[in-house]
């Protein structure tokens, strides 16, 4: 999907949701809902061209725990950027929802400091003494 003509795509995909679903199936990846602010035609075109970070569906994991400390979306996005070799395609003003960002970070690094539970932190602190 290197050279993509928007007029050609518009003939097949009437909405961003249609294109998003197609990309998820074709590339076997998980993308944020098209209802999210940052999921624009521009973002989806970057996904189509492999210019942004995506997670294969077989590596995508949902974070089901409770965070020890709260982190705003912008901080979670920054954490993803710190460990990724590719850009996310989002700006701090147009981020997808917090749950998807947490799932993305958890998929990339389930042992990230943000996901440490109170018990793990206490154990680590006591064993260091």
Q: Which tens digits make up the pLDDT trace of 57-110?
A: 999 999 988 887 889 999 999 999 999 999 999 999 999 999 999 999 999 999
The tokens of 6 are what? 């928007």
Helices marked H in 1-129 — which ranges? 6-12, 16-27, 41-48, 73-83, 98-108, 118-128
Q: CB-based contacts of 10: which residues, under 8 Å, 6+ apart? A: none
The pLDDT of residue 7 is: 67
Given a contact cutoff of 8 angstroms between Cβ atoms, the answer to whether 101 and 95 are in contact is: yes
Give residue limits of the domains in the chain: 6-128
Alpha-carbon gap, residue 4 to 122, rounded angstroms? 52
The pLDDT of residue 6 is: 62
């Amino acid at each position: 999907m290197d050279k993509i003509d928007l007029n050609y795509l518009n003939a097949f995909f009437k909405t961003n949701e249609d294109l998003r679903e197609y990309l998820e199936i074709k590339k076997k990846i998980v993308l944020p809902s098209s209802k999210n602010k940052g999921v624009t035609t521009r973002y989806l075109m970057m996904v189509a061209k492999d210019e942004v970070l995506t997670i294969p569906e077989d590596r995508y994991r949902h974070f089901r725990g409770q965070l020890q400390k709260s982190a705003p979306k912008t901080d979670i996005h920054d954490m993803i950027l710190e460990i990724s070799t590719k850009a996310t395609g989002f700006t701090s003003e147009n981020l997808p929802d917090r749950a998807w960002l947490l799932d993305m970070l958890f998929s990339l690094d389930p042992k990230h400091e943000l996901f440490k539970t109170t018990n793990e932190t206490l154990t680590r602190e006591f064993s260091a003494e």
